[in-house]
Amino acid sequence: MSREDTFWMALAVCEARRALSEGEVPVGAVLVKGGRLISKAHNRTGAHPLHHAEILAMLSVHPDEVEGATLYVTMEPCVMCSGAAVLARLREIVFAVENPKFGGTYSLYQIPLDDRLNHRLRVRRGPLAHEVRRLLREYFGRQV
């Protein structure tokens, strides 16, 4: 992992902490293009079931800014968010931990890599998985 990957993922982890403090599943997302931050968000599904961090990050800027950007996200995007990433024509998704129940990027489905679609993007694991797992355990431990 590069220092740049660690920097951007750390910012996504900060967003995940914000989600946790609001009683949400701790997922944070950061959109980066040309080495600069263009958007950041965290889960707000209590307000609306579609308000995933990835979707909110993409919606908060003009579509031209999103195209070609890299999405750093603490948890592997679900099917909805993976489809949105393809439609938005992201360049890359970098995630810290897999999503074995709902993963649409790597674990269950590989939507961004599907050659039947009109756009494909790079997908890779990023840093800080240990920190993200700790946040997820903290959240799901409260839910029991």
Catalytic residue list: 54
Residue with tokens 């996200």: 73
Cα–Cα distance for residue pair 83/113, rounded to 1 Å: 11
Gyration radius of the chain over CA positions? 14
Cα–Cα distance for residue pair 120/65, rounded to 1 Å: 18
For every residue of 61-97, DSSP letters joined together read S-HHHHTT-EEEEEE--BHHHHHHHHHTT-SEEEEEE
Q: Give 39's DSSP letter.
A: E
